């Protein structure tokens, strides 16, 4: 059982960078648990505020519920209480509830509620979906506003009133007016997490909007750079942030933007580049080609 009440988890997550590890796959695309654990063990020397297993970067959308359960259990056991572990809940309401309950049974400390797959939805339906998942678990829940599940300020206010264990809002949209409206209405009742692809890109401006931390996909393969960047953002050291954006993050986006889905594929490529491969991505994603990988290697070597 988690030692974190929803409130304690919310406070803890604000204290540092958030890790979203990739899920390692073998050549036949099965879950490679030993490699996954090895990666988590390597990352455990670096200080983060929370670890989100099988999130977007962890290709949670390509895993079966049984595989998600295995990944979450592996993370909980490998991390061994050093940082809170959050598990995903995805899909339709019944599936998301089953996953939230499985997360609690697996010893996770919180739930990241990702958008339902495929269908579009209105605000009333989204409020009922999020509320049903919150009611189904004692764990703290963070809702990921993105894709087909973008919440507006009125919905977020209703959600916090109805659901004491809704502790966080992860923004995957980057709409300045909407973030301002949400923070103006809800303030510090929620922990706000920047969750746009390659979240470093937006970290400094979003800090001004109440988004105090973010999910770092690049932490997977350049953890020291990612932590240094986070520290610069917290200090609001604009010179250093913009130097690092120019040196690494923006050229990285140039490679990432060559194909849809590369925001995840390039993270696995980054692990290959540093000699700690986590295997291929699963379809519907595709891996970087050899030229793109070579460019990524050269870019990483520049910051080493
Ligand atoms: O679920 C996820 O993996 C994400 O939310 C997004 C990434 O970690 C994103 O913030 C990034 O690419 O830095």
Is residue 197 lining ligand 1, measured as CB closer than 6 Å? yes
Q: What's the CA-to-centroid distance between 197 and ligand 1, angstroms?
A: 5
223 within ligand 1 shell (Cβ under 6 A): no
Q: Look at phi and psi of residue 37 and say left if phi exceeds 0, alpha if psi is from -120 to 50, else beta.
A: alpha
Q: Which residue's CA lies nearest to atom 2 of ligand 1?
A: 56
Q: Name the residue with the closest Cα to ligand 1, atom 5.
A: 195
Annotated binding site: which residue ranges? 57
Is 183 assigned a catalytic role? no
Which residues, 6 or more positions from 7, have their beta carbon under 8 angstroms from its beta carbon?
140, 167
Q: In whole angstroms, what is the distance from residue 139 CA to residue 207 CA?
A: 26
pLDDT value at position 304?
59
Measured in Å, residue 210 CA sits from the centre of ligand 1 at 18
pLDDT tens for the chain, 304 residues long, are 899 999 999 999 999 999 999 999 999 999 999 999 999 999 999 999 999 999 999 999 999 999 999 999 999 999 999 999 999 999 999 999 999 999 999 999 999 999 988 889 999 999 999 999 999 999 999 999 999 999 999 999 999 999 999 999 999 999 999 999 999 999 999 999 999 999 999 999 999 999 999 999 999 999 999 999 999 999 999 999 999 999 999 999 999 999 999 999 999 999 999 999 999 999 999 999 999 999 999 999 999 5
Q: Is the CB of 57 under 6 A from ligand 1?
A: yes
Q: 241 near 204, Cβ under 8 Å? A: yes
CB atoms within 10 A of CB 278: 23
The model's pTM: 0.97
Cα–Cα distances (Å) from 287 to 159, 264, 292, 298, in that order, read: 38, 9, 10, 18
Interior angle at CA 50, CA 45 and CA 55, nearest 5? 110
Q: Is the CB of 216 under 6 A from ligand 1?
A: yes
DSSP secondary structure string for all residues of 71-85:
HHHHHHHHHTTSS-E
Choose among 135, 129, 191: nearest CA to 164.
135
β-pairing, 18-19 vs 213-216, is: parallel
Chain-centre distance for alpha carbon 240: 24
Identify the structural domains of the chain with CATH numbers, from first to last.
Answer: 6-237 (3.20.20.70)
Residue 170: active-site member: yes
ipTM higher than threshold 0.90: yes
The total number of residues written for the chain in this structure? 304
Residue 59 has a pLDDT of: 98
Measured in Å, residue 43 CA sits from the centre of ligand 1 at 17
Q: How many CA atoms lie within 13 A of 265 on its CB side?
A: 21
């Amino acid at each position: 059982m988690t030692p974190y009440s929803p409130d304690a988890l919310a406070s803890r997550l604000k204290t540092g960078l958030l890790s979203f590890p990739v899920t390692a796959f073998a050549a036949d695309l099965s879950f490679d648990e030993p490699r996954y654990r090895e990666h988590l063990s390597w990352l455990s020397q670096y200080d983060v505020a929370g670890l989100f297993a099988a999130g977007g970067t962890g290709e949670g959308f390509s895993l079966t519920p049984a595989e998600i359960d295995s990944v979450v259990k592996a993370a909980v056991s490998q991390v061994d209480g050093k940082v809170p572990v959050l598990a995903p809940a995805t899909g339709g309401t019944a599936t998301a509830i089953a996953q939230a309950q499985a997360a609690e049974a697996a010893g996770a400390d919180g739930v990241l509620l990702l958008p339902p797959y495929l269908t579009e939805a209105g605000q009333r339906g989204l409020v009922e979906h999020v509320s049903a998942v919150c009611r189904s678990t004692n764990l703290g829940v963070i809702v990921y506003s993105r894709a087909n599940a973008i919440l507006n300020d009125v919905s977020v206010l209703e959600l916090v009133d109805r659901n004491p264990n809704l502790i966080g809002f992860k923004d995957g949209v980057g709409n300045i007016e909407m973030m301002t409206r949400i923070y103006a209405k809800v303030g510090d009742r929620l922990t706000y997490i920047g969750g746009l692809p390659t979240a470093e890109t937006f970290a400094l401006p979003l800090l001004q909007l109440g988004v105090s931390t973010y999910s770092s996909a690049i932490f997977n393969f350049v953890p020291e750079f990612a932590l240094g960047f986070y520290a610069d953002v917290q200090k609001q050291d604009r010179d250093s942030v913009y130097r690092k954006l120019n040196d690494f993050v923006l050229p990285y986006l140039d490679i990432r933007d060559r194909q849809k889905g590369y925001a995840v594929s390039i993270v696995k490529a980054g692990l290959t580049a540093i000699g700690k491969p986590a295997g291929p991505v699963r379809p519907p994603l595709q891996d970087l080609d050899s030229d793109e990988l070579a460019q990524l290697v050269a870019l990483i070597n520049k910051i080493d």
